[in-house]
Each structure stands twice: as structure tokens, then as C-alpha cells.
Amino acid sequence: MKTENQFMHDYLKREHSFKPKWVAYNSRKDLRLNANHYQEKIAPLYSMKFFSKLTQKEKTDSYHLYIQFIAEMQIFLEKILVYGFFKFRKSDSDLNPEVRNSMRLLAREELYHTQGYQNFIDQQAPSKPLFIHNRFFRKAAAFCLNHNPLAITLIGAKFEAVSAPYFAELVAVIEDKNDPWFELNKIHMQDEVFHVPLQFDVYNSTVKKFGFIKTIIPMFFLYMVFQLVLLKGMRKLIKQSYPNRSTLTRNLIILPQMVYWASRKMESFQKSRVLLSKQFKAKAPRYRRALKFIYA
Ligand SMILES: [Fe+2]
Ligand SMILES: [Fe+2]
């Protein structure tokens, strides 16, 4: 298997340079968000109809819980990545050393990220997990990866592409640069910018091994798992943020607006789709037409 990939080559020079900032962040005990940590423009439902009907407490609570949702989503995604990459590296003894080492480095970075996000979540109290302990999601993701451990590559890139535009949004709205959520996203984004193109390179160097069916079907299923995670996460967020609203209001009015806001309306998600489709053009991954559901 031939790579000759300059990007991978450069990426590997980063070895260990990612570590110190995570060690420093993970030793911190001052990460708890309070009522002052609230940003209207990136709060859930902002610019949606229902936003004007929310009380300030509902807005602040949902803002904090949305942050928790992103943190849980990162942990979920990163654990899947580590599992998939580990499984694949184990199964393929002829793997090009550059690809193997890139996968190993990316997985090591994700392990540090997971600890960072977990450390952040642990300090937010009282907070109940939104979906991270859900066994069905873990099993469903593992099921996809057992059929193709690299199904996570381009699906992972889809979510990793959000890091940079989301951080740009934080830069624009957060004045306090010591805000713990701001700092976490800043150091995470510094690593993630490498991951998106890298996922495409890993995919391109290994996709032949699996072929069309074993690539598209596990990827599509994994994509659906993430859609369910979004739905479940938003339902829980709504339940915990707006406890005084009726079940009917929560499910029929707020939920559809919340899902639309989180997956389409947020500026960072719109920008991430542009970034991703540019990568699809530049890296020309095999079966890209069939994979359009990832970035459309
Ligand atoms: Fe990460
Ligand atoms: Fe990543």
C-alpha cells in the first residue's frame, strides 16, 4: 500500500507536541461554568421562534447543557475513533508504516481529548449525563465498526470539521478568554485541524481493502447512529432545561426547532459543511457520490 503523503509526513512530526497543553488542562480544578458563562448568540434556539418565549434561566441552563452535549459528543466520537483505529491496526499487518503511525498518533491525541472533556464535564454539577451512558449507542457504533473499523474515518471528519468554525464563533462572542469552555475548545481545535484531512488520507489509503458495500453500509449506519444521538441528546437537554414546559410543548414545538437549530441553523455547522465538501473535492475519496449524505 502506497501513501507518499506529504500531509501525513508533516503530521507525524507533531509527535508528543500535543501533550503538555492537555496535561496542564487536565490538572485544573476551576472549570465549572456559572451564570456569567452565557452567550446569547450561540445559545440553543437563538434566532428560532421559541427563543423569545424562554426565561433567562431556561436560556442559561440550555446553554450549559448544550455545552455538555458537545462535550459528550466529543467523548463518544473520540472513543469510537480510538476503537476503530485500534481494531484496524491490529487486523492489518501489511499496513503502510506512515498510515499506521498516523493512526496511532491520532488515537493518542483523542485519548487526551477524551480526558480533557471528561475532566470538564465532571466539574459541571449538578449535571446528569445526556446520552453518554447509553449502551445502545455504544453497541450500535461497535456493530458498524465490527463490519468496517474505518467507517468512522469520514463520519468522524464530518464532526471534526465543526471544531474550527465553532471555535471561531467562540472567539467572536466570548470576551473572557479564561472561560474554561473557551480554553478547552482552543486547545482541542489546535489538534483537530489536522484530523479532518488526515481522516480522508487514512480512508483513501485503506478503502480498497473493504470495497463498496462494506464501506457505504457501515458508514451510513454510523451516520444514523449519530442522528439518533442528536435526537436523544436534544430531548434530554430540553427535559432538563425546560422542566416547567408541558410534554406536548417540549416534544411538538421545542424539539423540532432544537434539532433544526443544532443541525442546520448554527453558523458553525453551516460552515463545517462547506469545509467538508471542500475536502471531498480536494481529496476525491473513492465512492464520493454515494457518500454525499455525509456532507449534503
Ligand atoms: Fe478530538
Ligand atoms: Fe479528532
For residue 113, report the distance from its CA to the centre of ligand 1, in Å.
Answer: 5
- Tell whether 25 is covered by a domain: yes
pLDDT at 4 over 70: no
CA angle 111, 17, 5 (to 5 degrees): 85
Q: Quick one: pLDDT at residue 10? A: 84
Q: Which domain holds residue 190?
A: 12-294
Q: Binning pLDDT at 50, 70 and 90, where does residue 3 land?
A: very low
Please report how the helices 180-206 and 267-283 are oriented relative to each other, as an axis angle in degrees rounded to 10. 20
- Residue 1 is predicted with a pLDDT of 45
Read off the pLDDT of residues 39-72 as tens digits, 9 standing for 90 and up: 999 999 999 999 999 999 999 999 999 999 999 9
Residue 1 inside a domain? The answer is no
Distance 70 CA to ligand 1 centre (A): 11
| DSSP per-residue codes, 38-104 | --GGGSTTTTSGGGGGS-HHHHHHHHHHHHHHHHHHHHHHHHHHHHHHHHHHHH-TT--HHHHHHHH
What pLDDT score was predicted for residue 248? 96
> How far is ligand 1, taken at its centre, from the CA of residue 109, in Å?
7
CA of 170 to the centre of ligand 2 (A): 19
In a domain, residue 47? The reply is yes
| Average pLDDT along the chain | 93
What's the pLDDT band for 13 if we cut at 50, 70, 90? Answer: confident
Residue 5 is assigned to a structural domain of this protein: no
**Dist. CA 160 → ligand 2 center (Å):** 6
Summarised one tens digit per residue, pLDDT across range 188-215 is: 999 998 999 999 999 999 999 999 999 9
Q: Specify the CATH number for the domain of residue 137.
A: 1.10.620
C-alpha cell at 56: 433567562
> Which residues keep their CB under 5 angstroms from ion ligand 1?
110, 113
Contact 32, 127 (CB under 8 A): no
With a pLDDT cut of 70, the percent of the chain lying above it is: 99
| Ion ligand 2, residue ranges at CB < 5 A | 160, 192, 195
Least Cα distance to 104 among 74, 125, 124, 84 occurs for 84
Q: pLDDT tens-digit profile of 75-129?
A: 999 999 999 999 999 888 788 889 999 999 999 999 999 999 999 999 997 778 9
Q: Looking at 207-266, list the stretches that DSSP marks H as alpha helix, in order from N- to C-terminal side.
A: 211-241, 247-248, 255-260
82 exposure class (CB count in 10 Å sphere: 0-12, 13-18, 19+):
buried
The count of structural domains within the chain is: 1
Burial class (CB in 10 A: 0-12, 13-18, 19+), 6: exposed
| Residue 2 reports pLDDT greater than 60 | no
- Chain centroid offset of residue 230 CA: 11
Closest by CA to 41, choosing from 55, 28, 51, is 51
Cα of 260 vs centre of ligand 1, distance in Å, is 24
| Residue 4 within any structural domain of the chain | no
Is 2 contained in some domain? Answer: no
Which grid coordinates belong to 22? 492537555
Instruction: Give yes or no for residue 219 having a pLDDT over 90.
Output: yes
CA distance 257 to 254: 5
Q: Do the domain assignments include residue 283?
A: yes
170: in domain: yes
294 secondary structure, DSSP code: G
| DSSP secondary structure of 95-144 | --HHHHHHHHHHHHHHHHHHHHHHHHHHTS-S---SSTT-HHHHHHHHHH
